[in-house]
Amino acid sequence: MRHPGFTESINHARRSFFDSGSEPRGLVSETILASWRRCRLQGLVADERPSVALVERHQLGKMQEQHEVLRRLCRPELEALYASANHAGSIVVLTAPDGFILDALGNADFLDKAARVSLRPGAPWSEAATGTNAIGTALIERRAIEVRGGEHYYAPHKVLSCSASPIFDPHGEVVGVLDLSGESSSHHLHALGMVQLAVEQIEHRLFESGFDGADIVRIQPDAALLGTAREGMLVFEAHKLVAANRHALRLLGMDWSELGKRRYDELFASALPRPGSVTGMRCQSGEMVHARRDVPRQSSTPLRALRSTHVKPLRSPAPVFSPTMNEAIDRSVRLLDADIPLLLQGETGTGKEVVARELHRRSARAGAPFIAVNCAALPESLIESELFGYLPGAFTGARREGSPGLLREADGGTLFLDELGDMPLAMQSRLLRVLQEREVTPLGGSRAHPIDVTVIAATHRDLSAAAERGEFRADLYYRIAQSTLRLPALHEHVDLASVIEQLWRALGGDQIPMHLHPELVQDLANRRWPGNLRQLVGLLRSLMALGNVGSVVTRRDLPEDLRTHGSAQVLPHANLSGSLESIELHAIDEAITTCDGNVAAAARKLGVSRSTIYRRLAQHGAD
């Protein structure tokens, strides 16, 4: 809990700084005061609600994918803090190096409150965007920061109490921020210490990979702390210091600016220990430390997975289209430019959104917004408010400022309705009216807003047959299917081996460099790939992440299940009736059979969620 006089002191400081323009020295820390000054110089108005622009869902997915290595590395600490946060009514937050939130886990009630002040994935929490706050200020100060209640620059953020610490890689670069936030009325006295301890563990783990052939020396005045996150870690290449953690730099009285400049003999008066041994060493300052030198590594995974040079292999691949598909896309663009809606049809994982974005890029509306809506992913209770928007106070839990809705956000650009076949019938009726009248009325409102959008819909289902069965509105089907484009399944490509090699290049395989053995390419080309491009790209990215620079990836590098089943995964075409539903059911059945009935494993193999498999089976009346 906070000190009884804390709120009064902060209120006095805010009146002095924001109302009187005087410096409230002694009432807030110099760190908070310096941040307030920076925010005022940027023209931020403290009493207003900050204008926070959340990134689109698709862009958030790209950001999370780009920082997947960081997210995976931090997972143990996130889950450990999550247990405390959930119990204490708080949330734990992980951000990218620029302050954009990647993950937020914790107490469900506080998550809802935090969302109202944009403390949620996809929101920017740099000082420039969100004023004085623990995340943004920690990034500027490059150290752990606590910001409580009214210490936040923006008045609406006084409900928060936040503790954050930047995460440094061994070269002194910030790779993210870890934050623990809760209600300011119940500040956790040990929150900052918990965050700092978690970051120490994360930074310590960063030394577990990379530095092949280098000398890694661990130092600590207390021998019992060697091997823990409190030990200092130094990396020498040809006796030159190239990497270190904060504990080592503190013990030696240095900072990261000296990396690459200092040699071993400038730091220690004792000789380099024998590999694997623990010994006493004297620093040039005269202080004695206990030290252990690691046995040199020869084939560890490169550390650069967190740095920009390794982000390339983890990016989404550039679109790969056959000449036939390129012609079909160009033809469809002409139809879209003539205001004729388009329906994309294809199995799950065939790249319908990739094609939709390419259509938008080549269209006359390329400079306008592209808004993607996954109709299957939105909960039924939220579809209406997400699509059509709402006025302030339209329903319990609504944002105070309301929401324009995705349809109005797409005004002037392209609206992509993915998995339209999974939209509830009630919503289909309202969507049809909006598309016909070209205007939308938000929930709780009476005034209609005109919209100008090009519509691209996509589905894995046979909507024509679904309309005949009464499972999809026929009038909406004919409204959105005025032109159609079918995306072939992966196994239908004439030269799948060429597609695999193009995807590998698009993922960055040639830049690493890392190459696929021709026999492996042919083996992959002979498989059926029920998850289509999504499944294949997932495998290629895994091979790239686990491989070594300059290596040739062979069949021995495949995951065990693919090596075990080999080309037996190729499925007979004769078993397929040709309809999208039968192909989908066949793929699901094969995946579940291959995984010995494990639905979760089958979902991973297909590149979909477990709930999607259950929903598809229920829709088709399958057991």
Q: How much is the pLDDT for 302?
A: 44
CATH T-level assignment (fold) for domain 9-206: Beta-Lactamase (3.30.450)
Q: Please, which residues bridge with residue 456 across strands?
A: 342, 416
- Dihedral sign of CA atoms 113, 117, 122, 128 in order: negative
pLDDT of residue 1: 44
Relative to beta strand 174-183, strand 160-168 is antiparallel
Whole-model pTM over 0.85: no
pLDDT of residue 5: 67
Contacts of 107 (CB under 8 A, 6+ apart): 85, 86, 87, 88, 89, 90, 91
Residue closest to 457 by CA, chosen among 435, 441, 439, 488 = 435
pLDDT recorded at residue 187: 67
What residue ranges of the chain have pLDDT lower than 50? 1-2, 299-302, 304, 307-315, 567-578
Q: How many degrees, rounded to 5, is the angle at CA 518 between CA 515 and CA 519?
A: 125
For the domain spanning 323-486, the CATH number is 3.40.50.300
> Where in the chain are all domains bearing CATH 3.40.50.300?
323-486
pLDDT at 607: 59
For 447, phi then psi, to 5°, come to -95, 130
Q: Where in the chain is the domain with CATH 3.30.450.40?
A: 9-206
Q: E strand or H helix at 327, and its extent? A: helix 323-337
Computed over every residue of the chain, the mean pLDDT equals 83
Which one-letter amino acid corresponds to residue 358?
E
Q: DSSP secondary-structure letter at 537?
A: H
> Which DSSP letter does residue 152 get?
S
- Bridge partners of residue 181, in order along the sequence: 91, 162
| pLDDT tens-digit series, residues 254-268 | 988 899 899 998 999
Q: What is the reported pLDDT for 312? A: 38
Neighbours of 611 (CB within 10 A): 12
